[in-house]
Structure 1
């Protein structure tokens, strides 16, 4: 006789997904995704309300994205130890707690604690949803699958800034976090009622790699702290810069030695990088943080400080960015499945550079239609980067390495985003200094910021040359 859990196991045939479960997991991912874009729109308001600086307040974004990235390997391990459904429920409750703490915050320290809890929970929710959906699809039609998984990424830039701007206008920035509560509650109810159990894999149970995890935490935390401290007075030789920087370097070298000597223990196996497509994808996802997370941090600040837009109008402007992403997303997956990722990504990166550079020269007098057009075109290019890279990261991989590949790519994307945010905040802070920022100072700060984004995006073309190309069969 079947137990209740046995009857709820997914039984989708190869290449198909349980669409009900997929839609539930998309809803589950909406809260973490919306939270990021809503918070970006409120950074300037939070900065003023808590009497903070750009360098300090960037941790509201960086701490969230860094915690998210560092929690991803924990999710990869836990999915083999616990029921996927139970793990999803625990992560959602943790995100709910983090949202409450962030909403109740009356100072930067309390806000950062809440953001770290939120980020850690999101770092489990997002890759877990992806992994479970890949299991349902059984490795088939990955370009289409990445388009489905990426739906929250599309709607977040469209809904997040607008909703966030309205919440700040009519209530306060605290509601940027309180609004998560009803979304999480609804998602929890649906997960409990309809999501398959996804039993753990007893054959893959193993102790968690605490040594590797500690080295990875030290690597990326040290790097972000070094960047942030350097921006305070632009002096590289200070102990506050060198110490975390050297810690990051030591942790990187330590992890490479450790993973090479004990490959079976390693959290992120080095053998993943024997696959050229995967290596290129991981590097690109790390670098894409500058174009995606970094740009979403800089754009709201630019629109509110240089263009003097209200939070609501800033959100309205950013709808153009999300609309551009929505237009291309439905076709990018199909094109990638047919032709491969290489030229889709290269063309999109070139377009991203071309649409970013004008923002370095935009001023308060620049026509609104021109800014909206550039935002829309920028959105068109972004879907052509993330979807093909994510799908190509699984090309030619041993199916047994898919969980580790998912962990590595998600870490690369999110940690790259946190580092990009820290770098851009450092650029802005370096130009503005500790004095009251004048119009000229802000113009210089955002000129350098968007040039950094454009250059970083252009450099990403190099690893894109190693992505896959498919030859279409001739009838």
Structure 2
């Protein structure tokens, strides 16, 4: 009886933690649907509005290593509640924003908080449950990540139509307040183990500088500045300098650097990291692209564009149930290569779709694309640990999560740049077709590192 009660308590705690994650997960998918409305409301360009997504994902990616450090040195309950409060502040700032700079600041605050909340859920669930019965608990914890991409765009579309775009951020307020009350009341303390690396500020600053200045260089190029102009070259040179300095720092200070260079001695880890970056560009970039395409090129409302995107979420659900079994059976290589082929089949049609293309072709393409998307992340994340020494597993987790999010931020910036460049010359629909062509190119490029993933012969 006591064992059953203990199991029920653990599941209850896991459910409360999931309630805290609903707002950050929902926020990401709803914001993509709102981008066109925000762009018109604030009177900004596609290239400018992409910072609403890019700043969030970039802040989330940079916050991931901070979360890994903080979970070792601070009480887990206080850390989780504190991150939720910060996310609440970011939501209020974003909701009140009447200018793009203020909205981007709010999104940075939200992203930094989400970068702590999302990885911390897994850490705390493992702490409370130990090594037993994790399969069922991870199914509970993973459910919002599966369902919210299906429901989020539609919920966001209804909020925009019934109220306005500010409410996709204000809706977070009651969700976070409910989570804070439940977690304060029911969540146990998670004493800090006081072990692991201390937060290394030089590493964090260099990695943040590398990705931030690289994205600034890309976006400045999109405004019409040439590749050789000072406005583009300066941030690119700063980004390259950060990269070189970090490599030297990690080489001479291996015990302090956030991401050890030893990780890159594993071929499967190298392949996984490259795929996660490229798939982040292709998958997250296209998630930024699709709602804008459906609203600008197809003339759909925010509600209908969100409804169309349910097809992609259903495809993701279908693949998710089988991807893990296939990866365990035949290894990651063939699953990822097959998923690349499916993702290409689901994305290529968008290069040729016009404003009059039958709706069913669009829904079928989105469904197929969702199936391929599921196979581009799950097996790669699992395979990234193959050949990695046990003492470096925590750092491998930090590196893969961070690089996946950074790839997503870069993908948004790259595809927004392409639209901004092409639209004045060839028209909006043709500009979106070109952007989808680039997205296909990034997906195809992942086939090269995918060949170096693990595989098994039955």
- Using structure 2 for the length normalisation, give the TM-score: 0.93
Does residue 47 (structure 1) correspond to residue 39 (structure 2)? The answer is yes
2:98 match: 106
Does residue 460 (structure 1) correspond to residue 452 (structure 2)? The answer is no
State which of 72, 86, 109 in structure 2 corresponds to 1:80. Answer: 72
Aligned-residue Cα RMSD (Å) equals: 2.3
1:325 match: 316
1:7 match: none
Map 1:40-439 → 2, pairs under 5 A: 40-133=32-125, 150-204=142-196, 206-433=197-424
* SS of structure 2 residue aligned to 1:197: coil
Alignment deviations for residues 362-388 of structure 1 (CA, whole Å, 9 cap, x no partner): 001100000001101111111112111
CA positional deviation for 1:403 = 2.4
CA positional deviation for 1:19 = 3.5
Alignment deviations for residues 375-414 of structure 1 (CA, whole Å, 9 cap, x no partner): 0111111111211111222334344333222211110111
CA positional deviation for 1:188 = 2.2
Q: Which moved more, 1:119-128 or 1:254-263?
A: 119-128
* SS of structure 2 residue aligned to 1:202: coil
Cα distance in structure 2, aligned partners of 1:222 and 1:161: 30
Does residue 443 (structure 1) correspond to residue 436 (structure 2)? The answer is no
C-alpha spacing 1:354/1:50, structure 2 compared with 1 (3 Å) = same
CA positional deviation for 1:419 = 0.5
Cα distance in structure 1, aligned partners of 2:130 and 2:454: 21
Alignment deviations for residues 89-144 of structure 1 (CA, whole Å, 9 cap, x no partner): 11111000000000011111111110000000011111222333455676799999
Cα distance in structure 2, aligned partners of 1:468 and 1:128: 28
CA positional deviation for 1:274 = 2.2
Cα distance in structure 2, aligned partners of 1:288 and 1:141: 31
CA positional deviation for 1:251 = 0.3
1:146–1:390 contact (8 Å) kept in structure 2: no
1:222–1:248 contact (8 Å) kept in structure 2: yes
Cα distance in structure 1, aligned partners of 2:151 and 2:49: 23
Q: Which moved more, 1:308-317 or 1:279-288?
A: 279-288
CA positional deviation for 1:18 = 4.2
Alignment deviations for residues 22-65 of structure 1 (CA, whole Å, 9 cap, x no partner): 33333322211211110110000000111111111110000010
C-alpha spacing 1:150/1:425, structure 2 compared with 1 (3 Å) = farther
Alignment deviations for residues 263-301 of structure 1 (CA, whole Å, 9 cap, x no partner): 001011112222222222222111111222101100001
1:69–1:412 contact (8 Å) kept in structure 2: yes
Alignment deviations for residues 134-156 of structure 1 (CA, whole Å, 9 cap, x no partner): 55676799999876654333222
* SS of structure 2 residue aligned to 1:79: helix
Q: Which moved more, 1:170-179 or 1:227-236?
A: 227-236
CA positional deviation for 1:189 = 2.8
Cα distance in structure 2, aligned partners of 1:268 and 1:96: 30
Q: Which moved more, 1:340-349 or 1:66-75?
A: 340-349
C-alpha spacing 1:44/1:382, structure 2 compared with 1 (3 Å) = same
- Using structure 1 for the length normalisation, give the TM-score: 0.90
Cα distance in structure 1, aligned partners of 2:139 and 2:228: 45
C-alpha spacing 1:109/1:466, structure 2 compared with 1 (3 Å) = same
1:143–1:334 contact (8 Å) kept in structure 2: no
CA positional deviation for 1:158 = 1.2
